[in-house]
Amino acid sequence: MSKQAAPSSPPRGLSFPILHLDKWIRANSKRLVPPVSNRQLFSASKDMILFVSGGPNTRNDYHVNATEELFYQLKGDIAVRVRPLDGSKPHDVIVREGELFLLDRWVPHRPQRPPGTLGLIVEFPRGYDEHGNPHKDGLRWYCPECDELVHEALWVLERIDEDLKVIMNDFWGGPVERRTCKGCGHVIERAGAVELKGRRVTAVKKASGKRVSKKKVAHKTAGAKKTAKKKATPKKGLSKKAPARRR
């Protein structure tokens, strides 16, 4: 961490230091990497889960948790794909730069963050159910073809910027049957980065055309030079003498 972003000592008698958010983001930008692209602040807090998420992220899962979730969009616009609990169709909630969005508890949601975006997210400890058991977080994958639930992973959250990556890697690194829809047989593939155009979320298009390696370029250039040299050099026995002038 740079000297500028180093936290100061906590105010006298208190637990947490004052952080300069912009400096903290610059110091931790290299840690905001896909698939989740998030990093937690004040991780020792017992009453709040606070983290920054950057773009791009690469997700086709839905996160489910027992508490409300507050999105504050610092830079750029994002779309949060939600599956409402009233059974209505999944849709995107667009959160513009500078806006706040408070998500209801238990709503399956998928933050879709285009490249270059930044957001601050506030969550809360999950608490316990009526039997005294800790509420579990969930990650769900639905079939993009028939919308059937393909897989759900449940776990007791410990750290938001580490747990999600572990669960996702377990899903993608597991047997293909785990990613196969039992309803239609479709196999879920990894998601790529997205971009937001108006209110429409689309996949980031890859650059068209094949890349040519430097070795191939050098080989082609050398070949072209040899060909040009051969054309410029006249063959023996075929040179023509200039006609003699008549006197």
pLDDT digits (tens, 9 = 90+) for 170-191: 999 999 999 999 999 999 999 9
pLDDT digits (tens, 9 = 90+) for 58-115: 999 999 999 999 999 999 999 999 999 999 999 999 999 999 999 999 999 999 999 9
CA-to-CA distance for 202 and 92, rounded, in angstroms? Answer: 12
Domain boundaries along the sequence of the chain: 32-203
Which strands make up the sheet holding 100-103, listed edge to edge?
38-41, 49-54, 118-123, 69-75, 100-103
CA-to-CA distance for 170 and 1, rounded, in angstroms? Answer: 30
Whether this prediction's pTM lies above 0.85 is answered by no
**Contact status, residue 187 vs residue 141, Cβ threshold 8 Å:** no
Give SS3 for 73.
strand
CATH match of 32-203 with 2.60.120.200: no
Give SS3 for 182.
coil
With cut-offs at 50, 70 and 90, classify the pLDDT of residue 247: very low
Mean predicted lDDT score pLDDT of the chain: 86
